[in-house]
C-alpha cells in the first residue's frame, strides 16, 4: 500500500505496458511484496478493481495486465 520511493505515499503504477513474458504484457509498480505473492491481485486504489496479477518481485515489481488475462479466459466465464 505504501511506496518508500514515493515519499512514503501510496503505491502507484509506474508503467502500464512493459515487457514481461511477452511484449507489453505487464504493468510495473514499486509496492512492497513478499515471497509467495505471485498470483495475488493488484488492485486499483481508486476503483478497487483488479488491474493485474502479481508475478515478479523486484524493483520495480511486475504483474500481468488483467485485460490480457480476461481476454484469455472470457469464454470460460
Query: Each residue of 38-58: pLDDT tens digit?
Result: 999 999 888 999 999 999 988
Task: Collect all residues with Cβ–Cβ distance below 8 Å to 68 and sequence separation of at least 6.
Answer: 25
Q: Which of 1.10.760, 2.60.120, 2.30.30, 2.40.10 is the CATH number of 2-76?
A: 2.40.10
What are the Cα distances from residue 5, in Å, to 37, 55, 58, 60?
Answer: 20, 21, 13, 11
Strands 26-29 and 61-65: antiparallel
Every domain of the chain and the residues it spans: 2-76
Neighbours of 20 (CB within 10 A): 19
Q: What is the mean pLDDT of the chain?
A: 88
* pLDDT value of residue 34: 83
Can you give the pTM of this predicted structure?
Answer: 0.81
Amino acid at each position: 500500500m505504501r511506496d518508500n520511493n514515493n515519499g512514503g505515499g501510496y503505491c502507484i503504477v509506474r508503467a502500464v505496458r512493459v515487457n514481461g513474458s511477452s511484449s507489453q504484457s505487464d504493468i510495473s509498480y514499486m509496492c512492497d511484496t513478499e515471497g509467495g505473492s505471485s498470483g495475488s491481485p493488484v488492485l486499483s486504489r481508486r476503483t478497487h478493481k483488479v488491474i493485474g496479477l502479481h508475478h515478479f518481485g523486484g524493483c520495480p515489481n511486475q504483474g500481468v495486465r488483467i485485460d490480457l488475462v480476461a481476454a484469455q479466459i472470457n469464454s470460460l466465464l
